[in-house]
Amino acid sequence: MVQDSIRILQAQGYKATKPRKLVFEVLEGIGRPLSPYDIQDILRARGKHLNHVTIYRTLDLLCSLNLAHKVLSSGRFVKCSLAAIEGCHRFMICQQCGAIREFADKQLCQEENDFARNLGFHTEHHFSEFSGLCSQCYSK
């Protein structure tokens, strides 16, 4: 919910401005990774205008608060589910339709971090991206 994200924003001392709400709505409504300019275009089509600089700054902020995530393979942004395990983001991205789905699994996350630790590496954040086909596109 956009509301939840806004609340988190405010709890950290950031203002709940119109541009920020608009960006949230787009990310949440579209549900697939979007570039800053994608977001601008979508808003334009809805009769709203945001300067690209504002969008860049908003996305930076959202990412720093883990409210959004920069999808690694495309450089596009997607809204994070708030339920994501801290420091662990795992996304499935359908190559066909572009749908993106975040999922969290505590055990898997733990195993990966343990694996790294055995190699002497102390993990703080950890991103995984799966690209392939979602069930709908696969069955076609």
Partner DNA sequence: GCCTAAATGCAATATTATTGCAATTAGCTA
Partner DNA sequence: TAGCTAATTGCAATAATATTGCATTTAGGC
By a kind-dependent CB cut-off of 5 to 8 A, residue 53 interacts, out of a copy of itself, DNA, none, with DNA
Binding to DNA in span 74-103, by CB under 7 A? 75
Which residue stretches of 16-97 are H helix?
18-30, 36-45, 52-64
By a kind-dependent CB cut-off of 5 to 8 A, residue 37 interacts, out of DNA, a copy of itself, none, with DNA
Q: Which two tokens stand for residue 32?
A: 């697939």
CB neighbourhood size of 42 (10 A): 17
User: Cα separation of 83 and 70, whole Å?
Assistant: 17
CB of 11 to DNA, least distance (A): 11
Residue 80 host element (H or E): none
Let me know the angle formed at the C-alpha of 52 by 60 and 45, rounded to the nearest 5 degrees: 120
Cβ atoms of 123 and 113 within 8 Å: the answer is: yes
By a kind-dependent CB cut-off of 5 to 8 A, residue 72 interacts, out of a copy of itself, DNA, none, with a copy of itself
132 touching DNA, by CB under 7 A: no
Contact positions toward a copy of itself, by CB under 8 A? Answer: 70, 72-73, 75, 92, 94-95, 101, 103, 105, 108, 111-113, 115-116, 119-135, 138
Question: Which residues of the shown chain bind DNA in the complex (CB under 7 A)?
Answer: 10, 13-20, 35-37, 49-54, 56-58, 60, 75
